[in-house]
Amino acid sequence: MGGGTLEGVHTVLTVAGSLDAESVRERERAAPRWVWADTRAVYPALVRAGVRLARCHDLTLTEALLLAHDGRYGEAHSAQAAFARLHGLPVPETGDGPAAKQDTLFEPERTELGAAELAEVHADQRRRIAALPEPGRFRLLVAAESAGALLAAEMAHDGMPWRRDAHDELLTELLGPRPVHGMRPARLQALADEVAAAFGHPVNPDSPQQLVKAFKGAGLQIGSTRSWEIKKLGHPAAAPLLAYKELARLHSFHGWTWADQWVRDGRFRPEYVVAGVVSGRWATSGGGALQIPKVMRKVVVADDGWALIVADAAQLEPRVLAAMAGDAGLAEAAGEIDLYSALAASFGGERENAKLAMLSAMYGGTGGDAAKVLAVMRQRFPQAYRFVEDAAKAGEDGKVVRSWLGRTSPPPSGHWRELVSGPEGARAARDRGRFTRNFVVQATAAEWALALLAVLRGRLPEPARLVFFQHDEVMVHCPLDLVEEVAAAVAASAAEATRLLFGSTPVRFPMEAVAVSRYSDAK
């Protein structure tokens, strides 16, 4: 593999149907860009056969990006649908519904299009991209998104190291021995009993309704059973209830049943969904890989003689904002390793205040001291401030916004348009403004991360493997003697991702890699 995954001209091989691993391996030697309808339908079988490909163009993912850019978010975007539109034929409603998903997961390649038709779709997509205001950026987006699709299939195959024995030990320590199916573990039952005893009558701690009623019976009015609200109560049921909630979640989300389903042969293999989130972040369709509780990270252990290289981009979103907005002052602060401290210095205030101002600007926060620190932000970093304000205004006005590389936010729904002209209109507008304000930053941060992944994937020495990716964090599993080489590859990839997106910018994107045996030792 090597560089050039995202840039440059390559031989184009348009392929349809299921592919023979041997001939694919042979043709890969010319370093082509593989063009196919849907990576999910083609690549997993190749990966199982031991094939790894450097680059591809995923027609389905690209079609979704192009349609959204054209204000047609959410329309059917399969290669077949694209071909039908191109020829004025009825568009098959394959879309992304649950049924379509089932097909791609369990059926072999079912595309009715041959290589020639796919080549037509590809040529059409290239024309449409060339006609965009920023074709170079969009090409980068398409290449990175497609590389992500390759990687998602590879990570699903390779899996993250997961020690089943350590997991079982941890669960037993926290919950008691594994209960027979459908029963509460002993520790959970004991806590549930304590809660009931504190109320003086049976209460199901899993039922918010029953809890609200029980507290009401005890003379305590609560608006919800969120833990911060429970915490404020002096009631004797509060402590065991909070303990119950925490452990019950662990049991139901990452307990024994979860492990039975998702951990095999010492590996956790989640199903990643590339661009599953509107902002371009990945989602998962099972296994909850993006919500692994911190307490569980001690069971993620490198194989003997191997290490986990864990790296996350520090304060990625504010740095992305600094680079996009071209705000000289903010960019200067973002040239430091600890952005918030640099911000505080330039603010003339506390680090915490600087952080709050930054997050409020990006998320649309207004609570607490947000308004006060935002005023300072507006004065000190006017360009950055205006950048997110413009995005918010566009959202309030019902317009779409775009990321740096051209990913487009969903247009407002019909429901929203009704709401906005009704009595609650101002609120609906503000809500959407917060969404678009955040979209431009979150989506661009996702693009930076995607570019990093694509570059890093191409730079990893064999047999190192990317085994986990979570928004702004990556994990590589590699033999101990490759630790330094992999860590250097991570740093170089971060620099390359920055160059690819922003060219020369004073903004730094620190991504320090640490080598550990256990994931929990990484932070």
Say if CB 425 and CB 414 are below 8 A apart: no
Of residues 301, 305, 311, the one with CA closest to residue 479: 305
As measured in angstroms, the least distance from the Cβ of 285 to DNA is 5
Interaction pattern, residues 329-368, with DNA; x per rule: CB under 7 A = ------------------------------xx--xxxxxx
Stretch touching DNA by CB under 7 A, among 7-15, 169-177, 428-436, 499-507: 428-436
Using CB under 7 A, count the residues that bind DNA.
56
How far CA 470 is from CA of 273, 284, 312, 408, in Å, comes to 12, 10, 9, 22
204 counts as binding DNA under rule CB under 7 A: yes
Q: Residue 293, interface with DNA (CB under 7 A)?
A: yes
Sign of the dihedral defined by the CA atoms of residues 158, 161, 163, 164, in that order: negative
Q: Compare residues 14 and 409 and give the one whose CB is closer to DNA.
A: 409
Closest distance to DNA from the beta carbon of 302 (Å): 19
Q: Where are the alpha helices (DSSP H) in 280-424?
A: 316-325, 328-333, 339-347, 351-363, 370-380, 382-396, 414-420
What's the full length of the chain, in residues? 523
Query: What gap in Å lies between CA 104 and CA 273, rounded to an integer?
Result: 12
Q: What does the alpha-carbon distance between residue 10 and residue 15 come to, in Å, rounded to a whole number?
A: 15
* Binding pattern for the stretch 72-111 against DNA, x by CB under 7 A and - elsewhere: ----------------------------------------
Cα pseudo-dihedral 475, 481, 486, 491, rounded to 10 = 110
Stretch that binds DNA, among 73-81, 85-93, 118-126, 282-290 (CB under 7 A): 282-290
Region from 13-21, 31-39, 222-230, 328-336 binding DNA, contact rule CB under 7 A: 222-230
Out of 30, 209, 234, 423, name the contact with DNA by CB under 7 A. Answer: 209
- Select 104 or 125, whichever has its Cβ closest to DNA: 104
Report the nearest approach of DNA to the CB of residue 92 (Å): 21
Site for DNA in 362-401 (CB under 7 A): 363-368, 370
From 104, 225, 315, 408, residue interacting with DNA (rule: CB under 7 A): 225
Nearer to DNA, 21 or 259 (CB): 259
First CA to last CA distance, the chain:
31
User: What Å distances lie between residue 136 and 6, 87, 267, 406, 502, CA to CA?
Assistant: 11, 27, 39, 10, 12
Q: Is 207 in the site for DNA (CB under 7 A)?
A: yes
Report the alpha-carbon distance of residue 58 to residue 45 in Å, rounded.
16
Q: Does 252 bind DNA (CB under 7 A)?
A: yes
Task: Return d(Cα 275, Cα 436) in angstroms, integer.
Answer: 17
Give DSSP secondary structure letters for 46-75: HHHTT---S-EEEHHHHHHHHHHHTT-TTS
Residue with tokens 């090409």: 139
With residue 473 as reference, give the H or E element that holds it: strand 473-479
Indicate which single residue of 48, 110, 216, 226 sits in contact with DNA (rule: CB under 7 A): 226
Q: Which residues of 133-153 are buried (b: 16+ CB within 10 A; e: fewer)?
A: eeeebbbbbbbbbbbbbbbbb
* CB closer to DNA out of 119 and 220: 220
Q: Are 266 and 161 in contact (CB under 8 A)?
A: yes
Cβ–Cβ under 8 Å, residues 490 and 310 = no
Tokens 């389903």 appear where?
A: 261
Q: Which of 176, 236, 276, 398 binds DNA (CB under 7 A)?
A: 276
Say what the alpha-carbon torsion angle 138, 139, 142, 143 is, to the nearest 10 degrees.
Answer: -140
Give the per-residue contact string, 33-72, with DNA (x = CB under 7 A; - = no): ----------------------------------------
Query: Are 195 and 208 in contact, with CB atoms under 8 Å apart?
Result: no
Tell which one of 312, 327, 396, 496 touches DNA (CB under 7 A): 312
> Restricting to residues 436-475, which ones interact with DNA according to CB under 7 A?
438-439, 442, 470-473
Instruction: Output the smallest distance, CB 105 to DNA, in A.
Output: 13
Of 523, 520, 495, 522, whose CA–CA distance to 511 is shortest? Answer: 495
We find the least distance from the C-beta atom of residue 11 to DNA, in angstroms, to be 35
Give residues 117-136 in contact with DNA (rule: CB under 7 A).
Answer: none
| Closer residue to DNA (CB): 117 or 472 | 472
Nearer to DNA (CB atom), residue 91 or residue 290: 290
What residue type is 444 in one-letter code? T
Pick between residue 111 and residue 438 the one whose CB is nearest to DNA.
Answer: 438
Q: Which is nearer to DNA, 56 or 443 (CB)?
A: 443
- The CB-of-203 to DNA minimum distance in angstroms stands at 10
- Write out the H or E segment, with its range, that includes residue 514: strand 511-516
- Give the binding site for DNA (CB under 7 A): 204, 206-210, 212, 224-228, 230, 245-246, 249, 252-253, 258, 273, 276-279, 281, 283-288, 290-294, 312, 359-360, 363-368, 370, 431, 434-435, 438-439, 442, 470-473
